[in-house]
Amino acid sequence: MIDNFQGKTAVLTGAGSGFGRECARLGARWGMQLVLVDVQQDALDAAAAEAQAAGVPVLARRVDVSDAAQMQALADAVAERFGAPHFVFNNAGVATAGLLWEHGVQDWEWVLGVNLWGVIHGVRLFTPMMLAAARQDPAWRGHIVNTASMAGLLTPPNMGIYNVSKHAVVALTETLYQDLRLVTDQVSASVLCPYYVATGIG
């Protein structure tokens, strides 16, 4: 695990509000280099301004995390500006409610696109960068956190698509943790499963 955050790089999706915004504040307090990612430009601008006022380097990007090309461009920008990130927080999320059979294809594509594919893109793009950095420096440490939910462990009604997406994030992250253990002790992963918190997703 990372034991000194000063000068380390953190990539935070969903950084404009909720957990992402709070993690950005913590990162700024700890002197990290911050890559702030959100799809809402006004929220992103506010988060970036707050972090810059704290005196830390900031790279802010408006990105739809469900879009592979946009995420690739983000990863390229991070590599060019800061190199491999030490901390990746795949946190962006959306939700919809209702009975399962009443949802249309667009609902499924939207929620799974952000909640699951956003995490998939973050993992597939940043993990190789982190592993490469670890191979070059035995002292290098990195960690990936993926935001799931208690809905990734339970199955409450009227939350079917959200439940599916968050169960998938739990499975993805637990597998990622096991896969990383096969190849390194310098990069690890964990999953965040909060109960209801009054963030923008609510």
pLDDT tens profile 7-53: 999 999 999 999 999 999 999 999 999 999 999 999 999 999 999 99
Give the number of other Cβ atoms within 10 Å of residue 124's Cβ: 13
C-alpha–C-alpha distance, residues 144 and 134, integer Å = 14
Would you say residue 136 has pLDDT above 70? yes
Catalytic residues: 162
C-alpha–C-alpha distance, residues 190 and 98, integer Å = 29
Would you say residue 188 has pLDDT above 70? yes
pLDDT band at residue 160 under the 50/70/90 scheme:
very high
* Mean pLDDT (the chain, rounded): 96
Could you tell me the pTM of the whole model?
0.95
Token reading at 187: 């990069």
What integer pLDDT is reported at residue 196 of this predicted model? 73
Q: Which of 130, 167, 166 is nearest to 2 (CA)?
A: 130
Cβ atoms of 21 and 51 within 8 Å: the answer is no
C-alpha–C-alpha distance, residues 110 and 43, integer Å = 20
3-state secondary structure of 109: helix
pLDDT band at residue 200 under the 50/70/90 scheme:
low
What integer pLDDT is reported at residue 168 of this predicted model? 98
When pLDDT is averaged across residues 123-139 and rounded to a whole number, the result is: 98
C-alpha–C-alpha distance, residues 3 and 25, integer Å = 18
Spans of all domains in the chain: 9-192
When pLDDT is averaged across residues 55-75 and rounded to a whole number, the result is: 98
CATH architecture of 9-192: 3-Layer(aba) Sandwich (3.40)
